[in-house]
């Protein structure tokens, strides 16, 4: 196929007809005519969430009022929802709590990891990690003030940097910019060989492909739920503590909902059993209710089918964009090998911010990451092959006609 010869539109339509996950798209509210390739930043609204929120507000809160903490099991939501997430990430029953934000959970997990390895002082991470993880780890170091350090290396150097000085290896499995994917099993095994605690951030993993924390023998994990898990903007994050560690951790953030008996109102903190001790404040009932129902879309999904479709979507997009747009300076930023990639594709793009603004104006939504990356997420439950083909086609038109070259699209907005 030459640079200017592209697949006919019948080809992606044929793929859509054979798509074993195609039926899931009907469970989401997708505006007509919109090609949404940003589920790696904010997932689409599952239709059933609308009624769940209405019921939570009108019936549970509106009619039951404070009785709802018991009659509608509000206090149990962090752990009930946590178990639903756990089923998608290979966690043992009762090992995940849905609570707080990813940033707060990073602080909890890092401090827990340090407490499990008290003779060591190094938190090892890489420069492809999401900045908030690094900020929070540094904040824990500063708060402890016991000579700990955050050591940052290149992603490819993590394995060799793991030595007997490392207390906690803190890694995000999938790079938020490029989609590069770390080998969880290999790095966790190496961390344990040198006596380090293995902590993983699954923000771009959970719901994107199969994760098995138990099989990989991971110690600690965190992640968000508003990306591939479609929990809604700012939906509660999650934290995982391997069962072998749970009773040995006294949380740095010791809130009353993590107390063994919160309604005894004892002034001395006693941690609850298991992962429940990682809860801090009163559960966010509206947000957890929305997330609870959002997770139901996964009840009949085979994660191997999700991964297979994800690879196919990404491969089609890479092929189409490279054949259409290479002459405009686009260069693949993501790993070419699918096994080394999550469920997103990124390109280095001159004037990338303005190009993405122009794409969005033409109903193709991705996002931009500084300094020059345009990023596209492929969420197999609702993205079609036709979406991918049309998205590449519109990107070509934006570049060919220089639709991005306007003052409006070059002006930076608050969120990119």
Q: What are the structural domains of the chain? A: 10-30+301-410 (3.90.1150.10), 51-298 (3.40.640.10)
Structure confidence at residue 289 as a pLDDT band (50, 70, 90): very high
User: 229 φ, ψ to 5°?
Assistant: -90, -5
Out of 73-87, 188-202, 400-414, pick the least confident. Answer: 400-414
H or E segment and range at residue 150: strand 149-153
pLDDT of residue 65: 97
Question: Over 50: is that where the pLDDT of 1 sits?
Answer: no
Question: Over 90: is that where the pLDDT of 8 sits?
Answer: no
Cβ count within 10 A of residue 416: 13
Q: Which two tokens stand for residue 345?
A: 């594709």
Structure confidence at residue 81 as a pLDDT band (50, 70, 90): very high
Cα 229 to Cα 251, 325, 341, 401, distances in angstroms? 27, 31, 18, 36
For residues 175 and 104, give the distance between their C-alpha atoms in angstroms, rounded to a whole number.
20
pLDDT of residue 10: 56
- Average pLDDT of the residues in 73-84: 97
pLDDT of residue 12: 82
Q: Are strands 238-241 and 220-223 parallel, antiparallel or unpaired?
A: antiparallel
Q: What is the DSSP letter of 193?
A: H
Q: Are residues 382 and 39 in contact, defined by beta-carbon separation less than 8 angstroms?
A: yes
Q: What is the pLDDT of residues 46-69, one digit of tens each?
A: 999 999 999 999 999 999 999 999
- Average pLDDT of the residues in 138-143: 97
For residues 285 and 283, give the distance between their C-alpha atoms in angstroms, rounded to a whole number.
6
pLDDT of residue 416: 79
What are the catalytic residues? 130, 201, 226-227, 375
Question: Over 70: is that where the pLDDT of 218 sits?
Answer: yes
Q: What is the pLDDT of residues 124-135, one digit of tens each?
A: 999 999 999 999
Mean pLDDT of the chain: 95
Q: What is the pLDDT of residues 20-50, one digit of tens each?
A: 999 999 999 999 999 999 999 999 999 999 9
Q: What is the pLDDT of residues 96-111, one digit of tens each?
A: 999 999 999 999 999 9
Largest separation between any pair of C-alpha atoms in the chain: 73
Cβ neighbours of residue 115 closer than 8 Å, sequence gap 6 or more: 248, 249, 250, 252
Structure confidence at residue 415 as a pLDDT band (50, 70, 90): confident
pLDDT of residue 4: 41
Structure confidence at residue 229 as a pLDDT band (50, 70, 90): very high
pTM value? 0.94
Q: How far does CA 182 lie from the centroid of its chain?
A: 14
């Amino acid at each position: 196929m030459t640079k200017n010869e592209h697949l006919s539109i019948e080809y992606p339509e044929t793929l859509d007809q054979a798509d074993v996950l195609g039926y899931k798209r009907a469970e989401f509210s997708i505006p007509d005519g919109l090609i949404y390739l940003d589920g790696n930043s904010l997932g689409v609204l599952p239709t059933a969430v609308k009624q769940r929120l209405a019921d939570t507000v009108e019936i549970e809160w509106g009619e039951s009022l404070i009785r709802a903490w018991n009659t509608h099991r509000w206090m149990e939501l962090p752990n009930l929802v946590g178990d639903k997430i756990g089923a998608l990430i290979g966690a043992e029953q009762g090992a995940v709590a849905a609570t707080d934000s990813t940033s707060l959970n990073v602080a909890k997990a890092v401090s827990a990891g340090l407490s499990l390895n008290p003779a060591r002082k190094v938190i090892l991470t890489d420069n492809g990690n999401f900045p908030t993880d690094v900020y929070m780890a540094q904040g824990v170091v500063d708060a402890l003030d016991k000579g700990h350090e955050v050591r940052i290396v290149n992603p490819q150097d993590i394995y060799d940097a793991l030595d007997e000085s490392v207390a906690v290896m803190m890694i995000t499995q999938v790079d938020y910019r490029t989609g590069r994917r770390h080998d969880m099993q290999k790095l966790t095994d190496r961390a344990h060989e040198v006596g380090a605690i293995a902590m993983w951030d699954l923000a771009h993993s959970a719901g994107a492909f199969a994760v098995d924390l138990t099989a990989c023998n991971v110690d600690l994990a965190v992640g968000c739920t508003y990306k591939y898990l479609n929990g809604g903007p700012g939906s509660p994050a999650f934290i995982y503590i391997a069962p072998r560690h749970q009773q040995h951790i006294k949380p740095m953030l010791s809130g009353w909902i993590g107390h063994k008996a919160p309604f005894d109102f004892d002034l001395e903190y006693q941690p609850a059993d298991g992962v429940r001790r990682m809860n801090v404040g009163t559960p966010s009932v509206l947000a957890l209710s929305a997330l609870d129902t959002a997770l139901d879309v996964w009840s009949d999904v085979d994660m191997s089918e999700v991964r297979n479709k994800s690879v196919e979507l990404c491969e089609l997009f890479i092929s189409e964009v490279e054949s259409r747009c290479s002459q405009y300076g686009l260069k693949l930023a993501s790993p070419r090998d699918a096994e080394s990639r999550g469920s997103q594709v990124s390109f280095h793009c001159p004037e990338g911010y303005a190009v993405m603004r122009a794409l969005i104006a033409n109903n193709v939504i991705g996002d931009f990451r500084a300094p020059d990356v345009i990023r596209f997420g492929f969420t197999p439950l609702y993205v079609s092959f036709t979406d991918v083909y049309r998205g590449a086609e519109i990107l070509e038109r934006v570049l060919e006609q220089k639709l991005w070259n306007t003052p409006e699209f070059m002006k930076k907005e608050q969120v990119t």
